[in-house]
């Protein structure tokens, strides 16, 4: 569909999805479950749709985390609680975070956005996309703000799976991808390395390797267009209009996402004249 900017759409649904992991409500929910640290909660909640995933499987599908970082959380997370329990608490954490960040979740705008997002998410391709497929197999929440969250999660993981496929096709490994991304977006290499668990030696071994990351990102965007083709130009435009204030409100209030390895800054990139929180 001509004229659709997949990155601009990502900027609108990613902040809504990110409350899943990076909010005080999320951390409190996994701490109450018995997790030892925030990363155990993250890996448990994100991997839970796959079942009791092994560290090898989680490392493969999450892609840019160092294997040792994943092994510190898995499989121990499954001794703390079952995947079903992680799914329960991640929904509860997202619910609490969205209610705090949005102020009101019972609005016609959120209900309309949820309806559009669900149509888009159900059109997202899942072949070769394990995280998208696993999340789409889960029951849909009834409340509109959580149905919107679930749709955003499917859309986010479908895009992420496609990004991994593009990196693999380009021959760009996990640590190398982070190094290229840090260089491309002027991110602190030490922060990026530490955020994903790589050693200095591992980082330096790939830091100067070539790689056409812009081509990978173009391929990622192209592979992420199917949901919006299904939604059509009018539906996609309406989704953008509805999600922009939600993404801005969440991003401006979510302190835990001020700095992140995705170089995600909706407050700057989605700035709308006259908008305020």
* Total number of domains constituting the chain: 1
Residue 270 has pLDDT above 70, yes or no: no
Give the other-Cβ count within 10 Å of 154's Cβ.
31
Examine residue 245 and state whether it is found in any structural domain, yes or no: yes
pLDDT at 32 over 90: yes
Residue-wise burial string across 51-61, b where 16 or more C-beta atoms lie within 10 A, e elsewhere: ebbbbebbbeb
Question: Is the distance from CB of 202 to CB of 176 less than 8 angstroms?
Answer: no
> pLDDT digits over 126-162, tens only?
999 999 999 999 999 999 999 999 999 999 999 999 9
Confidence band for 252, pLDDT divided at 50, 70 and 90: confident
Q: Name which of 9, 251, 243, 270 is nearest 115 in CA terms.
A: 243
pLDDT of residue 38: 94
Considering the domain boundaries, does residue 194 fall inside one? no
Say how far apart CA 173 and CA 59 lie, in whole Å.
12
Rounded-to-integer distance, Cα 277 and Cα 275, Å: 7
Q: 64 is written with which tokens?
A: 């840019």
Is residue 192 in some structural domain?
A: no
Domain assignment present for 268: no
Are 239 and 16 contacting, i.e. CB atoms less than 8 angstroms apart? Answer: no
Structure letter (DSSP) for residue 256 = G
Q: Identify the pLDDT of residue 276.
A: 40
Burial (Cβ within 10 Å: 0-12, 13-18, ≥19) of residue 169? exposed
177 part of a folded domain = no
67 in any annotated domain: yes
Q: Which residue range(s) make up the domain with 58?
A: 6-170+212-261
Is the pLDDT reported for residue 211 higher than 80? yes
Asked if residue 239 belongs to a domain, the reply is: yes
Q: pLDDT-based confidence at 3, cuts 50/70/90?
A: low
How far apart, in whole angstroms, are the C-alpha atoms of residue 57 and residue 46? 12
User: Is 184 in contact with 149 (CB distance < 8 Å)?
Assistant: no
Task: Report whether 77 contacts 86 (CB < 8 A).
Answer: yes
The confidence score (pLDDT) of residue 253 equals 82
pLDDT for 274 beyond 90: no
Q: What does each C-alpha distance from 125 to 60, 133, 160 come to in angstroms?
A: 19, 8, 12
Q: Model confidence over 94-117: pLDDT tens digits? A: 999 999 999 998 899 999 999 999
Distance between CA atoms of residues 166 and 197, nearest Å: 22
Question: Please, which pLDDT band fits residue 277 given cuts at 50, 70 and 90?
Answer: very low
Q: What percent of the chain has pLDDT over 90?
A: 85
What Å distances lie between residue 255 and 119, 143, 144, 259, CA to CA?
31, 25, 24, 9
Assigned domain for 143 exists: yes
Which pTM was predicted?
Answer: 0.93
The token pair at 268 is 């700057």
């Amino acid at each position: 569909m001509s004229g659709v900017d997949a990155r601009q759409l990502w900027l609108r649904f990613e902040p809504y999805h990110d409350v899943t992991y990076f909010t005080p409500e999320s951390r409190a929910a996994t701490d109450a479950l018995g997790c030892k640290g925030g990363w155990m909660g993250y890996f448990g909640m994100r991997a839970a749709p796959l079942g009791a995933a092994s560290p090898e499987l989680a490392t493969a599908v999450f892609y840019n985390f160092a294997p040792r970082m994943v092994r510190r959380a898995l499989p121990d997370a499954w001794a703390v609680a079952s995947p079903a329990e992680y799914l329960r608490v991640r929904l509860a954490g997202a619910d609490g975070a969205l209610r705090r960040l949005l102020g009101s979740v019972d609005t016609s705008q959120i209900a309309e956005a949820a309806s559009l997002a669900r149509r888009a998410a159900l059109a997202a391709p899942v072949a070769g996309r394990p995280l998208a497929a696993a999340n789409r197999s889960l029951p849909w929440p009834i409340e509109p703000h959580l149905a919107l969250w679930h749709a955003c999660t499917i859309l986010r993981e479908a895009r992420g799976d496609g990004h991994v496929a593009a990196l693999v096709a380009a021959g760009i490994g996990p640590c190398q991808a982070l190094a290229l991304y840090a260089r491309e977006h002027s991110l602190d290499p030490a922060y990026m390395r530490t955020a994903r668990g790589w050693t200095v030696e591992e980082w330096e071994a790939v830091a100067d390797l070539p790689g056409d990351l812009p081509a990978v990102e173009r391929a990622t965007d192209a592979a992420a267009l199917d949901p919006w083709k299904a939604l059509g130009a009018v539906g996609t435009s309406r989704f953008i209009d509805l999600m922009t204030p939600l993404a801005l409100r969440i991003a401006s209030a979510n302190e835990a996402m001020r700095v992140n390895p995705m170089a995600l800054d909706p407050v700057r990139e989605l700035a709308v004249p006259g908008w305020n929180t």
